[in-house]
Amino acid sequence: RKEVEQDPGPFNVPEGATVAFNCTYSNSASQSFFWYRQDCRKEPKLLMSVYSSGNEDGRFTAQLNRASQYISLLIRDSKLSDSATYLCVVTANQAGTALIFGKGTTLSVSS
């Protein structure tokens, strides 16, 4: 089983749509979880950390289910500028000494 698995997409949605991305991870020792955004040929940038209680930042909502080792990202009211690749990221161990990146899910929002 791959350490962090994501549906690669692409997800093609119209502006205003709601879209959800899922991610599963294999290491039960992982303690920290993130969603990063990467635009084409650019560096990954932190979108949001994911907490056990779930967290929301504007149109973005992240959820974590430790029992199922499952992370999700919900984007509401999609904008053209949301088009990017979304990377699911978890720490490799309890010490957080390294991050494990998923291969990413590509989102394309069209007008």
Partner 1 sequence: DADVTQTPRNRITKTGKRIMLECSQTKGHDRMYWYRQDPGLGLRLIYYSFDVKDINKGEISDGYSVSRQAQAKFSLSLESAIPNQTALYFCATSDPSGRAADTQYFGPGTRLTVL
Tokens describing residue 18? 């709601």
Residue 30 parent element (H or E): none
Q: Going by C-beta distance under 8 Å and a sequence separation of 6 or more, which residues neighbour residue 95?
A: none
Least distance to partner 1, CB of residue 98, Å: 6
- The answer to whether 38 and 85 have CB atoms below 8 angstroms apart is yes
From the list 11-19, 30-38, 54-62, 71-79, the region that binds partner 1 by CB under 8 A is 30-38
Asked if residue 108 binds partner 1 (CB under 8 A), the reply is no
Residue 73, φ and ψ in degrees, nearest 5? -135, 125
Asked if residue 86 binds partner 1 (CB under 8 A), the reply is no
Q: Which of 21, 25, 34, 35 binds partner 1 (CB under 8 A)?
A: 34
Binding site for partner 1 (CB under 8 A): 31-32, 34, 41-46, 49, 87, 91, 96-99, 101-104
